[in-house]
Amino acid sequence: MLKYVLKRVGLALVTLLIIVFLLFWLVRVMPGNPFPSERMNDIQIANKRAEMGLDDPVLVQFWRYITRALQGDFGNGTSLYYGVPINTVMSTAIGNSFRIGGIAVLLGTAVGLLLGITAALHRGKFLDGFCTVFSIIGVCVPSYVFLIFLQYNFAFRIPFFPYFFDASRFAFSSVLPSLSLSLFTMSTIARFTRNEMVEVFDSDYVRLAASKGLHGRRLVLRHVLRNALIPIVTVLAPLVVDLLTGALVVEKIYGINGIGKLMVDAITGEGIDYNYVLALGILYSALYIGVMLLVDLLYGVLDPRIRVSAKGEEA
Amino acid sequence: MAKKNMQAAPAVAAEYVPVAGDFELLHSRDIQTDANFASQSYWKGVLIHFFKNKRAVVGLVIITVIMLLAIFGPIMNSYGYKDIVQFRNEKNKRVVAKGISPRIPWLHELLTGEKYDDSFSDLTFLFGTDDLGRDLWTRTWYGARVSLIIAFVTIIIDMIIGMSYGLISGYFGGLADNIMQRFVEIANSVPRLVIVSVLAIFMPKGMGLVIVALLLTEWIGMSKIARAEMLKIKEQEYVLASRTLGAGNGHIIFKEILPNTIGPIITQVMFSIPTAIFTEAFLSFVGVGIVLPQCSVGTLIEDGFNNITTLPYQILPPIIVLALLMLGFNFIGDGLREALAPKLEDM
Amino acid sequence: MSESTKAILAVKNLDISFRTNAGVVHAIRGVTFDMEKGETVAIVGESGSGKSVSCKAIMGLLDSNAIVNSGEIWYTYTDENGQTQKVDLLKMPIKQLRQKINGQHIAMVFQDPMTSLDPTMPIGKQIMEGILLHKKTTKEAARARALELLQLVGITDAEKRFKNYPHQLSGGMRQRVVIAIALAADPDVLICDEPTTALDVTIQAKILELIKDIQQKMGLSVIYITHDLGVVAKVADYVDVMYAGKIIEVGNVNEIFYDPKHPYTWGLLSAMPDLETDDDRLYSIPGSPPNLLHEPPGDAFADRNPFALAIDKKAAPPFFRVSPTHIAATWLLHPDAPKIEMPKELQLRLERARKEVEKYL
């Protein structure tokens, strides 16, 4: 098992390293003038380049960048938040995005599972139909449209919730964005859970369990749920990443200073902020790969077919 | 042991009294009937199955109607998508038709018995006009057209790239497959947003950026499907047969195997198109997509959002079109998937 | 003797349809059969003839789109108080069926051992489950019993295998586990749905022997569902031949093998591979079973039957009695029908087979 874990972790790290290097190369080395916001003549630029080590070989620069980044030093923005270190701005943003995304993940997963299970248990009846319609709407309408709708009705026409995000009233002002973000997760999970459960219900091993005399709740708890829920981990992963890294549009609409909005600002501002693009790119990739790795490992723990073969590998 | 006392016979048959000629042989000894299964070709069966699926048909109708409107909608009235509607009022003063809510004068008259009491009395704006005075009916369908074109173009190119990649990788296997799959794995680990942001450094904002971003991400899913199908089909007898007959790799890949992967690939296309439309909408909303005065579903939603407190009706048409496009393509995709691999229960 | 009173299981006029997207499929069209204690009955037919559905109806495992139009399934058993009970399983609420009948009285072995075990539960636990459910024993006792069962079904290192997951076992081993699960709560009736189809030929024979062995040890009544007449010859006392949702010929194993009367049975027997057949071509019944979405009038087999009579198109044939234990539903047995014998090649084959058997007696 340990070998399996180490192999997975190693693979993920290598992938991440390759991606970060590519990003670094594309963002830092390729574009022309790295100081677009400062007026300097050619000699000044050359001096500054030498001073910053931009004339060193790419790998040396990369090594320098990585070692600093690992200590949390991503440098300063080239045009965004001038003079403030990127990691300061980014940690505030991460806090906001993660808290709002986290609520959305929890809400979406819990309600989604509940809906999906209920629908599968009442297959073909009203609740099943309701769940289907709900999940179709949730998948077909983007979360920011829900937010616009909620914002217009419950913050503008009935001014109950704040119209924009207000960090000092965090809980209250994260209701609308978290709710609208959770809907996609909710409907995806509801639909997936329902279909998985229906499939498991039709499987031979559940028939065998029924032919033993198992029925009702016992049958569902012992044989259906576990088998149906294992694959859900895989759909959940990309959803979690999307939510945690902040749905861009939702943050933009609701004025949340999260990483999504930061990214939008970095690429749509006056001049593109290369340093932010790089730092956020690394953050996004690391999160994405990290969660995928986690799912891989979790799957190994949950599914004996993988768990045992991993053990076999070790032996 | 006297066992098996069968009730004499099913009731109906028992009542039947045989008549003369009943006991003559019907067939010659040689019969080769297979009326049930022989008569239907595979694709005909798929089509029949597809059209029996209510949701799939609904999806098809929705998409057809939206496509027709995207083609003909903008020419159904005289306003262009970037024209600001102006006209001269009774005092011969130029008036811009800004922020007019949806109106159909004859219907209004029919319902209320009065004419509109304003200077645009005889003008029809089905979806109203925006804050600059542009007709939203025209803009909505023009935007839908742009979004659909982007989606179709990119997904078809992605299909070609992804299929070729997957088929080649699966067909040759071994080291080539290994290297190609490592590459896919790495490409798959880059979040879409990171690709977009890096692209934004090298490309001007606009349709090109959206298309390239989609091209770089959507082929991966297709290649996975093509590869899986290839691995499944590769070892089947007919492929081996054609190889022993001396067929080349190209012939086997494109003539023997490709036709068999078409079903699942088309299904994937039906699911990728809404993803593409979704992505386009969100990139345009964020501001790296379609640039003004061009419009797409995404920019229209953004416009609507910007004016939501003053012109709340403006956001509805693009949102509904977007949702219907999603719904339609998803229904068609589901229907195709079921028609291609029918479960026993549905047969 | 009329109405068999000793029957442990009696299915009467079972009639089942399925709602599908394409329409209503009339899959079971009046099936009647019964079995006595200790007997082995084989239900034979092509795929789609309704064999499995009949048995799923007994187990209460019909899919949700099934409609039971009519029929009774009478089951006679001795309950925990030693009272003889006779119940109609079709009328029994599903919960009661699971609590009282499934597992402890009627158990089932499924066709595909690859899919019929829960992949996320160790096999030992899956066997114990049935014991704990129906027997009032401690966990330790159940565990001991499960180990005993594993040994009974021929798994040698039972102690070690106990904690294995299904994917760690071979197909043959898994089927043994499935059998152990079925036997866990000492049933009286065992339904085996094509128990060897998914297995290698060498393992097939072993599994059949195992079931036969256990049947003798435990006094089980066994229903085999199969399309393989080779299996039938090895294990069955009585044979019910099914076609298109109906039973068309019933007899003891000798009658079916040496004196079949229904042209469909002839076809099935001719299609059996045989070492000495001179033909270089294996016979197969022409065509395929009718689509029961569009129920054919008269005899469903008429279109594929080289010996079909004009009347077959008009009315379904009733059963004609051939011997006290042998009946067949074909108009060829009607007194007015032309005298048609089974095909020559088949006659020769059956003759050969009979001699072969006599050699060993």
Neighboring chain C residues of B14 at a CB cutoff of 8 Å: 318
Closest CA–CA distance from residue A284 to any residue of chain B (Å): 7
Q: What is the pLDDT of residue B3?
A: 45
Question: Confidence class of residue A110 from pLDDT cuts 50, 70 and 90?
Answer: very high
C319 and B CB contact within 8 Å? yes
Q: What is the pLDDT of residue A122?
A: 86
Question: CA torsion C256→C257→C259→C261, rounded to 10°?
Answer: 50
Closest CA–CA distance from residue B298 to any residue of chain A (Å): 11
Which class for B40: exposed (0-12), middle (13-18), buried (19 or more C-beta within 10 A)? exposed
C303 to chain B: closest CA residue:
B33
Give residue-wise pLDDT tens across range C125-137: 898 888 888 888 8
What are residue C69's phi and psi, to 5 degrees? -75, -45
Neighboring chain A residues of B202 at a CB cutoff of 8 Å: 26, 30-31
Closest CA–CA distance from residue B51 to any residue of chain C (Å): 11
The answer to whether B9 contacts C317, with C-beta atoms less than 8 Å apart, is yes
The answer to whether A123 contacts C64, with C-beta atoms less than 8 Å apart, is yes
C337 and B CB contact within 8 Å? yes
Query: Which token pair is C249?
Result: 């010929």
Q: Which residues of B touch A (CB under 8 A)?
A: 185-186, 189-191, 193-194, 196-198, 200-202, 205, 274, 278, 281-282, 285-288, 301, 305, 308-309, 312, 315, 319, 322-323, 326-327, 330
Mutation to test the B interface, candidates A267, A268, A282, most B Cβ within 10 Å: A267
Q: What is the pLDDT of residue B346?
A: 39
The CATH number corresponding to A93-258 among 1.20.120.160, 1.10.10.10, 3.40.50.300, 1.10.3720.10 equals: 1.10.3720.10
Each domain of chain A, given as residue ranges in start order, spans 93-258
Contact A95, A234 (CB under 8 A): no
Closest CA–CA distance from residue A236 to any residue of chain C (Å): 20
Q: What is the pLDDT of residue B38?
A: 44
Interface list for C 47-66 with B (CB within 8 A): 63, 65
Neighboring chain A residues of B198 at a CB cutoff of 8 Å: 23, 26-27, 277, 281
C340 to chain B: closest CA residue:
B25
> What does the angle CA B174 – CA B179 – CA B249 come to, to the nearest 5 degrees?
50
Query: Which token pair is B324?
Result: 């219907």
Q: What is the pLDDT of residue B190?
A: 84
The answer to whether B3 contacts C238, with C-beta atoms less than 8 Å apart, is yes
Each domain of chain B, given as residue ranges in start order, spans 54-75+134-341, 87-120
Q: What is the pLDDT of residue B5?
A: 44
Backbone φ/ψ region at B171: left (φ over 0), alpha (ψ -120 to 50), beta: alpha
Neighboring chain B residues of C311 at a CB cutoff of 8 Å: 18, 22-23
Q: Can you tell me whether residue C11 is helix, strand or coil?
A: strand
C60 to chain A: closest CA residue:
A211
Chains A–C, number of C-beta pairs less than 8 Å apart:
88
CA C267 to chain centre: 19
Separation CA C234–CA C231 (nearest Å) = 5
CB atoms within 10 A of CB A71: 9
Q: What is the pLDDT of residue A314?
A: 35
Neighboring chain B residues of A264 at a CB cutoff of 8 Å: 286-287
B34 to chain C: closest CA residue:
C287
Residues of chain C with pLDDT under 50: 1-4
Give the position of tokens 């806090």: A95
CA contacts within 13 A on the Cβ side of C198 = 19
Q: Can you tell me whether residue A175 is helix, strand or coil?
A: helix
Residues of chain B with pLDDT under 70: 1-21, 26-41, 88-90, 92, 97, 99, 105, 115-122, 342-347
A148 to chain B: closest CA residue:
B305
Give residue-wise pLDDT tens across range A203-242: 888 888 888 888 888 888 888 888 888 888 888 888 888 7
Separation CA B151–CA B281 (nearest Å) = 11
C283 and B CB contact within 8 Å? no
What CATH number has the domain spanning B54-75+134-341? Answer: 1.10.3720.10
Q: What is the pLDDT of residue C1?
A: 33
The answer to whether B186 contacts A19, with C-beta atoms less than 8 Å apart, is yes
A229 to chain C: closest CA residue:
C120
Mutation to test the A interface, candidates C52, C67, C94, C98, most A Cβ within 10 Å: C98
**H-only helix segments in chain C:** 51-59, 94-96, 123-134, 139-152, 158-161, 171-183, 201-218, 229-235, 253-258, 263-270, 344-360
Complex ipTM > 0.95: no
Residue ranges of domains in chain C, CATH in brackets: 36-69+94-241 (3.40.50.300), 252-360 (no CATH)
Residue A266 has pLDDT above 60, yes or no: yes
Q: Can you tell me whether residue B182 is helix, strand or coil?
A: helix
Contacts 24+ apart (CB under 8 A), C209-213: C210/C153, C210/C154, C210/C176, C210/C179, C211/C109, C211/C179, C211/C235
Neighboring chain B residues of A248 at a CB cutoff of 8 Å: 193, 282, 286
* Spatial CA neighbour of A284 closest among A309, A249, A247: A247
Q: What is the pLDDT of residue A199?
A: 87
* Spatial CA neighbour of B154 closest among B214, B220, B106, B244: B214
The minimal CB distance from C250 to the residues B6, B13, B25 is found for: B6
B301 to chain A: closest CA residue:
A145
Q: Which chains pack against B, by 3+ Cβ pairs within 8 A?
A: A, C
What are residue B129's phi and psi, to 5 degrees? -125, 160
- Whether the bond into B18 is cis, omega within 30 of 0: no
Q: Can you tell me whether residue B209 is helix, strand or coil?
A: helix
The minimal CB distance from C165 to the residues A206, A216, A304 is found for: A304
Separation CA C29–CA B277 (nearest Å) = 52
What are residue C222's phi and psi, to 5 degrees? -125, 135
C112 to chain A: closest CA residue:
A204
Give residue-wise pLDDT tens across range C252-262: 888 888 888 88
The minimal CB distance from A284 to the residues B194, B309, B326 is found for: B194
Give residue-wise pLDDT tens across range A158-207: 888 888 887 777 778 888 888 998 998 999 999 899 988 988 888 888 88
C20 and B CB contact within 8 Å? yes
* Spatial CA neighbour of A167 closest among A261, A284, A275: A261
* Cross-strand bridge partners of residue C226: C44
Q: What is the pLDDT of residue A109?
A: 92
More confident residue, A308 or B263: B263
DSSP assignment of C195-217, as one string?
TTTTS-HHHHHHHHHHHHHHHHH
In the chain, the amino acid numbered C306 is P
CB atoms within 10 A of CB B251: 13
Chains A–B, number of C-beta pairs less than 8 Å apart:
103
Neighboring chain C residues of A216 at a CB cutoff of 8 Å: 95
Separation CA C76–CA C247 (nearest Å) = 23
Question: CA torsion C295→C296→C299→C301, rounded to 10°?
Answer: -90
The pTM of the full predicted model, rounded to 2 decimals, is 0.80
Closest CA–CA distance from residue A11 to any residue of chain C (Å): 27
Closest CA–CA distance from residue B347 to any residue of chain C (Å): 6
Residue A312 has pLDDT above 60, yes or no: no
